[in-house]
Amino acid sequence: MGDIVTWSNTNWILDTIDADTRINTKGKIRRCNTTLRWRDEKGTAHSYPAFCEDATKYSEGVSGGKMMEVPDFQIKAKIRLDANSAKLNRNKRFLLDAELYLPQIEASGNHVSAFKVTRRNVITGNQAGHGYVELTMVECAYSDRDNPNLMIADYYDAEDEYEIATNVDEIVVAKGTQFTLVATATKNGAAIDQTSILFQTSDAGIATVSPSGVVRGVGNGTCVVTVKAGTARKEIATRVEASSATPSIKIFSDNDTILYGQTKRIDFKAYLNGAETATTFSTSISNATAATIVESGSGFIVIRATDDGELVGTTFTLTVSSASLSATATKDFKIGGWF
């Protein structure tokens, strides 16, 4: 129990299983309808798919040893049990709301909903060390230390300074293709964990973005992919073109010769319908004896030619490809001498 199953592009949590040990057993899974995010004692951010249900009708965990009062609104959340979730206990706070409409909530001047754990149950769903944690939570006050950008409660101090850097400033993808948006962030000058970076799209009907930054074109049009970390945010203009668009890759080099023992930087760009587009490249060299790739980055590589003078005049082919655009370009180079 507590295992997460991905089915039909949705996360499901295994709720109960038949105690029968035969090959064929029965079980029950529940569709995860939200995500619980929190920061542990070391500052590492965690994100777990969760199944939540309205628990207002229950009176558990509100008060003890006296007449209980049922709160206006409380929920139960189930997440998988492991070394991280086992540490969650009473009074831990979470932010839970309709994340898809977070921009609209912020624009209206309202805050997302905050909840505090009033009851922790790791017994009911535990079997042989596996299972789930069931948290009963009651709605509580929003704090200025909460981070709605990451949907994590009690996250940062007002004095913290965050900065975000991305591998591109705009994205153009064809419908049905994808591009990986790479983002790094710092807190007070120090790099923070990738799990603390949040990606959001302004219109999932045009482009979707995964928790790891994979942007996929869904429908023609423009939208904005926003990268958030702490108090910092960066907006990436995103355009989705028709899937019939013609992609291409161009390799830039002033000549086709690399002197033996020397290095040469080669730049390349991808185009869609004649306009430069962001994509992820893969590169290879046909003759590893003649040259090798010693450095690579977003849209460039550095090639080092062999230092063997006997190989002067040897040729090799550089291949640059984009799987998401289904485009490939090649260019021939030769090893030159000092004469």
Pick among 3.40.190.10, 3.40.50.300, 3.40.1260.10, 2.60.40.1080: CATH of 162-241: 2.60.40.1080
CATH number of 247-336: 2.60.40.10
Spell out the SS3 assignment of the chain.
CCCEEEECCEEEEEEEECCCCCCCCCEEEEECCEEEEEECCCCCEEEEEEEEEECCCCCCCCCCCCCCCCCCCEEEEEEECCCCHHHCCCCCEEECCCHHHHHHHHHCCCCCCEEEEEEEECCCCEECCEEEEEEEEEEECCCCCCECCCCECCCCCCCCCEEEEECCCEEEEECCCEEECCEEEEECCEECCHHHCEEEECCCCCEEECCCCEEEECCCEEEEEEEEECCEEEEEEEEEECCCCCEEEEEECCCCEEECCCEEEEEEEEEECCEEECCCCEEEECCCCCEEEEEEECCEEEEEECCCHHHCCCEEEEEEEECCCCEEEEEEEEEECCC
Taking the domain 4-140, which CATH number applies? 2.40.10
Q: What is the pLDDT of residue 67?
A: 52
pLDDT of the residue at 106:
80
pLDDT number for residue 69: 55
Q: What ranges do the domains of the chain cover?
A: 4-140, 162-241, 247-336
pLDDT digits (tens, 9 = 90+) for 61-76: 444 455 555 556 889 9
- Contact partners, residue 27, CB within 8 Å, separation at least 6: 14, 15, 16, 17, 18
pLDDT at 331: 94
Q: What stretches in the chain show pLDDT beneath 50?
A: 61-64
Q: What is the largest CA-CA distance in the chain?
A: 96
The pTM of the full predicted model, rounded to 2 decimals, is 0.48
Domains 162-241 and 247-336 share a fold: yes
The total of other beta-carbon atoms located within 10 Å of residue 118's CB is 19
| Total length of the chain | 339
| pLDDT tens digit sequence for 37-95 | 998 877 788 999 999 998 876 655 444 455 555 556 889 999 999 889 988 988 899 99
